Structure 1
Amino acid sequence: MELKDRFKVHREIVEGITTLDDTEKELLYSALNIHGHFCGGMPMGYLAGLASLKALGTTRELSMDKEVVVYVGDHHAGGCFADGVQFATGCTFGKGIMSKDPRGKWSYMLIDKKNKKAVKVTVKPEIMQAAFNAPFITKFRIKGIPPAEVDQDVAKAAFLGLFNKKFEEIVRVEGPFDYDPGKGGSCFNLAFCEKCGDAVAENYLRIEDGKKVCLDCFAYTNLIERK
């Protein structure tokens, strides 16, 4: 299927969801296009993200006043969930306001850095159990079949499975509670590695033999990473 045809199918499926408003549909459509395939994990993360914004009494992040810490890692079926959380909350890896704290869970914390408040959101165990008992997992993914190659009727059913449920049926929300993330910010000072010449943010420079070098050129990088 060509990409334009795939996007057309995505649009049709998303527009058929009656429990989302127009803005929420548009964000979900974009999330589905970026994510690339139908599954149950991405919309689970998306709905969990909407739930966290509602609980915190805030809106989707456009700048960098909020932050997400996601307790999913790279070695279990949590990456799809993280994609959904990113699109719902607007807290992305690219903005530097989403980070992983791998614990093998489908859980995360949304932090309002400006107001020093946070909520923790965890997908309920019964929701996770139902997802892992569904054909998408038991008949396809557990056998090593890539998600994009799963039977489309099964994949679409997994994608749509949670949209008829209320937030409180899907996730457990803790908070809002006080949370001070401390000071921090982006570096806007540009420098250049004195070995390879690459442009690099100043706060990532290291000193080696009296020269300012990037991490790629820094001779001790691998030694530091092994510790």
Structure 2
Amino acid sequence: MFDKHRAIVNSIEGLSDEEREFLYSALNIHGHVCGGMPMGYVAGLAALKAFGMKRERNMDSMVILNIGDGHAAGCFADGVQFATGCTFGKGLMKKEPKGKWTFYLINKKEGKAVKVTLRNEMLHKAFSAPFITEYRSKGINPTDVPEDIAVPGFKRPFTLKLEDVVEIEGPFDFKVEKGKPCFKLVECSVCGHVVAENYIKMEDGKPVCVDCTNYKW
């Protein structure tokens, strides 16, 4: 699998060494070859370039995704995560479900954002391709789609100009509430599990976790 993924990624032109490595990582983590993840990856790169930003390595930017659930958009989200470095695990990506292939890339330090929208033509093309119409819509797993069908769809977003893939609005003002991460641990007095301090309730003077509390959050 890894050799196949490397060959596919290496066959794509126009990427920097870093962009290529993160795309390779994205493909390995995503687990299958499709057109959705690369569309998200290219959209994420476009957002960074429009902002003049580099891929996030700390906590200075975030993404708000307007995709929802159950409409073949999870692949897109994986691509956006790997391109921007704004991941769910770091708390730098969240969903505001609207069923749309749009997202906001936010520079938290400057209080600015750009809105990125996948162009209608890209979506219609992707959803009318054999990958969807002949395989995925009929319940066939993405890993069972033939390579000669899946690989062209994967490579297609990289053959186009960024402006033909996405529409970008901004930058414009965008306020984000700033918070500090919690680095303190507390043991629940009931179950004994270690809990982040900011998720503890005090009951009768004792620390209690969400599972054991008598109160509703």
Q: Same fold (TM over 0.5)?
A: yes
**C-alpha distance after superposition, 1:69-121 (max 9, x if no partner):** 11112321111111000000000111111111111111100101011111010
What is the count of residue pairs matched by the alignment?
217
**1:153 maps to 2:163:** no
Structure 2 unaligned residues grouped into runs of 5+: none
Q: What is the RMSD computed on CA atoms of the aligned residues?
A: 1.4
Mapped partners of 1:73, 1:214: distance in 2: 30
**1:33 maps to 2:32:** no
Any idea what SS the aligned residue of 1:30 has?
A: helix
Aligned to 1:186: 181
* Post-superposition offset of 1:206: 2.5
Structure 1 unaligned residues grouped into runs of 5+: 1-5
**1:109 maps to 2:104:** yes
**1:67 maps to 2:50:** no
List aligned pairs for 1:18-97, cutoff 5 A: 18-97=13-92
Mapped partners of 1:208, 1:139: distance in 2: 58
* Post-superposition offset of 1:220: 4.8
Mapped partners of 2:208, 2:55: distance in 1: 37
* Post-superposition offset of 1:182: 2.3
TM-score by length of 1: 0.91
Mapped partners of 2:119, 2:61: distance in 1: 24
Amino acid at match of 1:35: H
**C-alpha distance after superposition, 1:144-197 (max 9, x if no partner):** 111111122111121111111011100010101111212213111211111111
Any idea what SS the aligned residue of 1:62 has?
A: coil
Q: 2:193 aligns with which of 192, 198, 203?
A: 198
Identical positions, percent: 59
Runs of 4 or more, structure 1, over 2 Å off, are 206-212, 216-221
**1:120 maps to 2:103:** no
Any idea what SS the aligned residue of 1:77 has?
A: coil
Amino acid at match of 2:17: D
Mapped partners of 1:219, 1:149: distance in 2: 48
* Post-superposition offset of 1:54: 0.6
